Amino acid sequence: MKKMIFPKPLKKGAKIAVISPAGAVEPSQLEKGIEMIKSRGFEPVLGKHLYTKFSNGYNYAGTEQERIKDINWALNDKEIGAIWASRGGYGCQHLVQHLKLKNFTENPKWYIGYSDNTVIQSYLLKKGFVSIHGQTIKTSSFGVTDESYNGIFDILKGKTPKYSLQPHKLNKKGNIEGEVIGGNLALVYALLGTSYSFDFKDKILFIEDIGENFYALDRMIMSLELAGVFKKIKGLIVGGMTNMGDEKDNKSYEESFDEFAYQLISERISKYKFPVVFGFPNGHIKDNRPLLIGGNAKVKIDTNVKIEF
């Protein structure tokens, strides 16, 4: 198995590129995040099209060409030490065929984001690089805990995450070790059958999602089933399932681990023996703790849950 490459820790004063690879953002939505980067001793460098808007059935942060230019600049500029996505939304699939890594391979850097950024992280993973599935610069309407950002900065400084979780009634006990893959379920699903899909063999799959009808969630899980994913993975971690179901059934954002969504997933995978963790604090939730996509994790699921990279 190919050894995954971890970017080097950032030194004080390192430059962090802030780009918008998908949905459009307003400057006011990024003010706190950009100031936070400065307060932690790093220098934010804003992509040329960070605040550009292009409407084409969706409000993108620029045309495809504009967003491609920004991400390739961030990936390959030798002065940039890390790349932090402003937000997710939709649009990263437009970029993935056009990504260039010529200078990146000589100077790997952390890519930070979640949601639609799962596409970029899958691409980097296939090229052998670890990335951070964590909170974007935009602070969501339901807020972000300090710990969510602290965990990201700890990784940037060279620490690896360790988590201790309360048990969940749907957990399946067991001890596993393996490479963590995945991210937003809708994008894991969207990449199936493409050359950019994850390699699921002997991996620990992480999934999270937001705003999906229950039948759409079931469709995605069924697609993973039909693609043989659950026969290949050695474990599953399920994060936030937020604002799921029909509109009349929507919960508040604080109720981020949707009970029925969890039950649906649990039933679909009941015939498999691999260990499962429900309720991991990552996703479209207030307490969005970072995971390393491509990082090797030791997972112990018993009366409590321990995950250590």
Q: How far apart are CA 175 and CA 156, in angstroms?
A: 28
Q: Are 221 and 263 in contact (CB under 8 A)?
A: no
Which pLDDT belongs to residue 108?
A: 97
Q: pLDDT tens digit string along 61-120?
A: 999 999 999 999 999 999 999 999 999 999 999 999 999 999 999 999 999 999 999 999
Q: pLDDT tens digit string along 7-59?
A: 999 999 999 999 999 999 999 999 999 999 999 999 999 999 999 999 999 99
**What domains are there in the chain, each with its CATH number?**
15-156 (3.40.50.10740), 162-308 (3.50.30.60)
To the query of whether residue 284 is one of the catalytic residues in this protein, the response is yes
Longest Cα–Cα distance of the chain, Å, equals 51
Which pLDDT belongs to residue 1?
A: 63
Q: Is the pLDDT of residue 178 over 90?
A: yes
Q: Are 78 and 104 in contact (CB under 8 A)?
A: no
Which pLDDT belongs to residue 2?
A: 74
Which pLDDT belongs to residue 256?
A: 83
| Catalytic annotation, pick one of 49, 133, 168, 284 | 284
What pTM value is reported for the model? 0.96
Tracing tokens 């710990």 back to the chain, one arrives at 147
Q: pLDDT band at 139, cuts 50/70/90?
A: confident
Which pLDDT belongs to residue 246?
A: 74
| Catalytic annotation, pick one of 20, 49, 148, 208 | 208
Q: Is the pLDDT of residue 212 over 90?
A: yes
Q: pLDDT band at 253, cuts 50/70/90?
A: very low
Q: pLDDT tens digit string along 184-211?
A: 999 999 999 999 999 999 999 999 999 9
Q: pLDDT tens digit string along 267-288?
A: 999 999 999 999 999 999 999 9
| Catalytic annotation, pick one of 20, 86, 115, 140 | 115
Provide mean pLDDT across the span 230-256: 80
Provide mean pLDDT across the span 291-296: 98
Which pLDDT belongs to residue 251?
A: 53
To the query of whether residue 208 is one of the catalytic residues in this protein, the response is yes
Q: Residue 2 class from Cβ within 10 Å (0-12 exposed, 13-18 middle, 19+ buried)?
A: exposed
Q: How far apart are CA 65 and CA 210, in angstroms?
A: 28
H or E element that contains 19: strand 15-19
Provide mean pLDDT across the span 241-254: 67
To the query of whether residue 179 is one of the catalytic residues in this protein, the response is no
